[in-house]
Amino acid sequence: MDYLDARSDRRYPLDPLRWRGDDGAPLSVEPMPGITRADVEAGTRSLWRYRAALPGGIRRPISLGEGCTPLVELPWRGHGTRFKLEWFSPTGSFKDRGSSVMLSVLAQAGVTAVLEDSSGNGGSSVSAYAAAAGIAATILAPEATSPAKVLQSRAYGAKVELVPGTRDDTAAEALRRSGETTYASHNWHPFFLQGTKTLAYELWEDLGFTAPDNVVTVAGAGSIVLGCDLGFGELLAAGAITKRPRLLVAQPAHCGPIDAAFRGAPARPFAPTIAEGTAIREPVRLPEVLAAIRRSGGTTVAIEEDEIAAATRDLAAIGLYAEPTSATAAAAVEQFRARGVIAPGETTVVVLTGSGLKAATTIGGLL
């Protein structure tokens, strides 16, 4: 098994310390053969119940009980809708799936210190799992990052440095410093996506070992899109499902490079968005994200700020306290239905990626 550069078809040995190709391209672990229901470790209450689908020969997982998040069905704007509540993860966001697998591999390789850049959730997640592994963590975050997310990383013992400028400026600073220590980037490291793909395996099990018709998710860098593409692709290859679900992707109109590229349209000028977790103007895996959406038969949509705000309030009104980044996906459901993308009677899952507790100050301003 190797790393694969999908842009050049070049392969590299599966070295946990390598996070990109020699030419600077992002890498992924070549697809696994997939598993069937008989391979699920039913007695394990975490994503590690799908250990048979994970590469790397991980002997001692760094686990805080991530995965096995609730899938609930609630009325949403006139329709029954299934919501996957990823904020039940240990640090309050879906990022714990990737962090658990990535930090497990790095700990097994003897890594003692890591660097991560994040607008919040990725940083707090890497901080937590680094703490659990006894690894020192430095987190670079944009200066406008939610105070709650910065505090969470610092509480886990990470050194947090706020970087002036945008999310892209923070990423550039991390790349500049990546040679100084192990770069445990949730956007770049191939093993992070191996953790994220367990979301697909979990939805398959949640739905009685079948695939949904549609998965609606917000995207910044696109790790949920890529993880679902990997996971459902492996299940399809194993014969455990008969079709991939359509990946329906929402981005804020103020920062929608994936939506613009998918439509072949110029991106709108960047503007601040309350969906801070998506404020990435140049996703490093953009071609791969677009290919994943197209492979699934999916599509994209751009959501205005007032729609994100309304969805945040409306989710809370049915008992779901989601951060605005998460609410972007819920706001998209109505548009996908209006366009006929989501048909009556289809099984649709909306992924709510992070807790409203992560953005309490922002949500306070919306009430």
Give per-residue pLDDT as tens, 140-152: 999 988 888 899 9
For the residues 169-183, what does the mean pLDDT come to? 94
Element of type H or E holding 159: strand 159-163
pLDDT tens-digit readout, 88-122: 999 999 999 999 999 999 999 999 999 999 878 99
Which bin fits 142, alpha (ψ -120 to 50), beta or left (φ > 0)?
Answer: beta
Residue 367 has pLDDT above 80, yes or no: yes
Residue 18 has pLDDT above 90, yes or no: yes
* Spatial distance between the Cα atoms of 136 and 119, rounded to a whole number of angstroms: 19
Return the percentage of the chain with pLDDT > 90, whole number. 92
For the residues 314-333, what does the mean pLDDT come to? 98
* Spatial distance between the Cα atoms of 170 and 117, rounded to a whole number of angstroms: 7
CB atoms within 10 A of CB 168: 14
Q: Enumerate the β-bridge partners of residue 162.
A: 141
Tell me the three-class secondary structure of 49-91, residue by residue: HHHHHCCCCCCCCCCCCCCCCCEEEEEECCEEEEEEEHHHCCC
For the residues 35-63, what does the mean pLDDT come to? 97
Read off the pLDDT band of 181 (50, 70, 90).
very high
Element of type H or E holding 303: strand 299-303
Q: Is residue 179 packed enough to be buried (19+ CB in 10 Å), middle (13-18) or exposed (0-12)?
A: exposed
pLDDT tens-digit readout, 237-293: 999 999 999 999 999 999 999 999 999 998 889 999 999 989 899 999 999 999 999
DSSP 343: P
pLDDT computed for residue 80 by the predictor: 92
CB 93 within 8 A of CB 354: yes
Instruction: Note whether 71-94+190-366 and 95-183 share their fold.
Output: yes
Class of domain 71-94+190-366: alpha beta
pLDDT computed for residue 335 by the predictor: 97
Q: What residue segments make up the domains of the chain, in order of their start?
A: 71-94+190-366, 95-183
pLDDT computed for residue 119 by the predictor: 77
pLDDT computed for residue 201 by the predictor: 99
pLDDT computed for residue 120 by the predictor: 84
CB within 8 Å of 9: residues ≥ 6 apart: none
For the residues 38-65, what does the mean pLDDT come to? 97
Read off the pLDDT band of 17 (50, 70, 90).
very high
pLDDT tens-digit readout, 219-236: 999 999 999 999 999 999
Q: Average model confidence (pLDDT) for the chain?
A: 96
Q: Which residue's structure tokens are 């699920």?
A: 40
pLDDT computed for residue 145 by the predictor: 87
- Architecture label for domain 95-183: 3-Layer(aba) Sandwich (3.40)
